[in-house]
Amino acid sequence: MEKLTATCGLTCSECPAYIGTLNGDVAALEALAKTWSQAYGAALTADDCTCDGCHSAAGPWMSHCAECEIRACGTGKNVETCAECTDYACDKLTAFLEYVPEAKMVLDGLRDGD
């Protein structure tokens, strides 16, 4: 599978929502919805976890990704990832990366040409 990187540096192609959607695995999406509902205190369904990846033009996107300010910003600036942005790393992105340091490593690697 081709590596797909979200605007924020998450790896879509490693995300269980993306993989479950790609494989049409409703049972996996239902299990994921249950797991993430418990982990994040949200009431998610399999439909909420259905995602074709951050860069899909028409979606579907994971419920959070559909509303993601970082994704919307990158789309508006016409950048594939925040690593390409002249404002890297803005306050919005920095706040997110504090919770997801592996995404920062991906973006830093892209900026360094890795």
pLDDT digits (tens, 9 = 90+) for 10-54: 999 999 999 999 999 999 999 999 999 999 898 999 999 999 988
Residue owning tokens 């993989």 = 19
Alpha-carbon gap, residue 81 to 75, rounded angstroms: 9
Mean pLDDT score across all residues of the chain: 92
Identify the pLDDT of residue 22. 94
User: What is the pTM for the complete model shown?
Assistant: 0.82
Identify the pLDDT of residue 114. 64
Identify the pLDDT of residue 72. 92
What is the pLDDT averaged over residues 78-101?
94
Alpha-carbon gap, residue 89 to 8, rounded angstroms: 10
Identify the pLDDT of residue 50. 94
Provide the b/e sequence for 11-26 (b: ≥16 CB within 10 Å). ebeebbbbbbbeeeee
Least confident of 37-46, 54-63, 86-95, 100-109: 54-63
Identify the pLDDT of residue 56. 87
Domain positions in the chain are: 12-111
